[in-house]
Amino acid sequence: MLTAMLGAVSQGILWGIMVLGVFITYKLLDIPDLTVDGSFATGGAVAAVLVVAGVDPVIAILAAMLAGAACGAVTGFLTTVFEIPAILAGILTQISLWSINLRIMGKSNTPLLANETVFSRMAELTGLPTNVVAIIVGAVVALALIAALYWFFGTEIGCALRATGDNEAMIRALGVNTGTTKMVALTLSNALVGLSGGLICESQKYADIGMGTGAIVIGLAAIVIGEVLARILPKGWTSGFAARLTSALVGSIVYFLIRAIVLQMGMDANDMKLLSAIIVALALCVPVVWERYRLRASYSKGGEGRA
């Protein structure tokens, strides 16, 4: 049971990097970018092929990040230059990436069992179990990314990007090229997704053509779960942009813990997609039900809620 929980935490942190990418497009630009399902697998495919070819695993992960960025740039190009709706542009890129990922690997999956990865290297140096190493490496990378994103979104271009999602017409009237901000957001988002795909690939020691299937659902579930948890804590702990990023990462960990617990209880692994959909639906419904309950409670106290 402990091993399963450690595995869930390690997977939650590594997938949490992907969730940070989804957070940028979904929460800041209000775009559910479906490129994610394809760019995640692209990151894994690129990392796997390079590791098998003898490239240093750290360089392979960086290449996976660049590959993800390229995928996001394609979606951004379709959206900003040809004015294709973002959700449709993401679908087009995702579909094309299925064939591209097969071309990259040359087959449907690429095992890394005989190759050194970042995690196996760290395990040999420290003597720690692989799951513990994955938690440490994932936590370091994730926290570094949260710090970098917090800094970036405090810069002029970062603030313009956030303003594009809040009120695109207003920020365009101030002279900001919203096409550029959307391109930056989609590229940055999928760079994080590709990075996560590379880390997951090296962690599980294989890349598969279908490893990104449902990634967007996991990302949305983690974000919503993180927001629900943030509402429970005092406002001082959850206010600010850094707290929102951290809550997305925590939501990813909680999501994978829920999955691990359900599997330990005997649920068929083939039903995991159904479970993911149910988790997302519940996470979306709970805040609405809670707000309605609070509103009714306030009216039942003599109309105090109207003040």
| CATH number of domain containing 174 | 1.10.3470
Considering only residues 299 and 79, tell me which one the structure prediction assigns the higher pLDDT.
79
Considering only residues 203 and 270, tell me which one the structure prediction assigns the higher pLDDT.
203
pLDDT in tens, 33-75: 999 999 999 999 999 999 999 999 999 999 999 999 999 999 9
Q: What domain count does the chain have?
A: 1
Reply yes or no on whether the pLDDT at 287 is more than 80: no
| SS3 at position 278 | helix
Domain of residue 249 covers 2-269
Q: CA-CA distance, 12 to 20, in Å (whole number)?
A: 12
> What's the gap between Cα 200 and its chain centre?
12
10: Cβ contacts below 8 Å, ≥ 6 apart: 131, 132, 134, 135, 138, 203
Q: Mean per-residue pLDDT for 3-17?
A: 93
Average pLDDT taken over every residue of the chain: 90
Q: CA-CA distance, 38 to 197, in Å (whole number)?
A: 10
For residue 242, tell me if it sits in a domain.
Answer: yes
Task: Say what the pLDDT of residue 116 is.
Answer: 94
Q: Mean per-residue pLDDT for 110-126?
A: 94
For residue 23, tell me if it sits in a domain.
Answer: yes
Reply yes or no on whether the pLDDT at 236 is more than 70: no
For residue 296, tell me if it sits in a domain.
Answer: no
Task: Say what the pLDDT of residue 272 is.
Answer: 77
pTM of the model as a whole: 0.92
Handedness of CA 15, 20, 25, 28 (dihedral sign): positive
In the chain, the N- to C-terminal Cα span, in Å, equals: 51
Reply yes or no on whether the pLDDT at 290 is more than 80: no
Considering only residues 278 and 153, tell me which one the structure prediction assigns the higher pLDDT.
153
For residue 284, tell me if it sits in a domain.
Answer: no
Task: Say what the pLDDT of residue 158 is.
Answer: 93
For residue 291, tell me if it sits in a domain.
Answer: no
Pull the structure tokens for residue 198: 């590379």
Considering only residues 30 and 234, tell me which one the structure prediction assigns the higher pLDDT.
30
CB neighbourhood size of 156 (10 A): 8
For residue 78, tell me if it sits in a domain.
Answer: yes
For residue 33, tell me if it sits in a domain.
Answer: yes
Task: Say what the pLDDT of residue 305 is.
Answer: 47
For residue 106, tell me if it sits in a domain.
Answer: yes
> Quick one: pLDDT band at residue 174, thresholds 50, 70, 90?
confident
> Quick one: pLDDT band at residue 235, thresholds 50, 70, 90?
low
What's the DSSP call for residue 269?
G
